[in-house]
A and B are shown apart, each in its own frame.
Chain A
């Protein structure tokens, strides 16, 4: 199990994943060697998988972001597997999430503009297999995005 020291390290690292080892140790109130050993152990146990760069798609000209909430046709066996395999072929899809609830799958999709979105929607999304119902939410603004957890 994690102790308070592990949590302190992860809390600091979560706030700034690109901290250097020395800076992280000082913020967590540890000496560098202890901090390094703790980090190694968290990695070995798979608690800390790494860090991933966040790409700002707007800076690359993708100004439209849409959440597509999809209900699949439950009468078809392997409906989700077929659907997901086709979705992975669409480069503009950033996220695939599955749910317990009214919605089966959510896709996070980006497009350069509304015309591009319309093309993607008609040619790539509506042609996906086994869709029973589809509903779109257009993103207006991101208010909070840090995706941190209260450690």
Chain B
């Protein structure tokens, strides 16, 4: 685990808004030279703090009008292979994220679809047929806000 100072935090804030910033553009915004900025970014990458980038797309404009969060409960524990389920669910293209959770459900999935009819198809053909699935609870997302986090 690495300690961050104010400059590191400013770099993380800037890059979480725009990961495509060059070291010189980033340096200008935070008042640091290009080589110094580059070294800082390198250090954050090596420490694993910056773990990649995510494309920010207007999903509705691309025809993906519906995002649904699914809570999945697997059947009789011990008889179902978690690894089999995880492999199969990760291979479904409409499934964006898979999280193994403790609580009411075993897995939480984020699923994207063109519309509700398309979602129903994904649910019936791709999710309900996964190995071990006993129960699925669906919540259709209406809005989403991502915050900067504790930096």
Q: Which residues of A come within 8 Å of B, CB atoms?
A: 2, 10, 13-14, 17-18, 45-57, 59-62, 67, 84, 88, 91-103, 106, 110, 135-151
Contact = CB atoms under 8 A, between A and B. Distances in A.
Contact of B55 (A51, A62, A142, A143): A51
B78 interface: no
Nearest to A90: B147
A100 B130 CA distance: 25
A50 B145 CA distance: 16
A118 B105 CA distance: 21
A145 B98 CA distance: 7
A46 B98 contact: no
A10 B59 CA distance: 12
Q: For B19, B52, B144, which residue has the most chain A Cβ atoms within 10 angstroms?
A: B52
Nearest to B63: A2
A98 B110 CA distance: 14
B87 to A, nearest CB: 9
A149 B146 CA distance: 18
B141 A99 contact: yes
Given A59-B2, A60-B49, A94-B146, 5 more contacts: A51-B53, A52-B56, A95-B146, A95-B147, A106-B139
Contacts of A47: 57-58, 61-62
Given A92-B149, A94-B147, A144-B90, A101 B138 contact: yes
B100 A140 contact: yes
Contact of A46 (B2, B58, B99): B58
Contacts of B141: 97-100
B101 A144 contact: no
A97 B96 CA distance: 15
A60 B137 CA distance: 33
Contacts of B31: none
B20 A18 contact: yes
B149 A144 contact: no
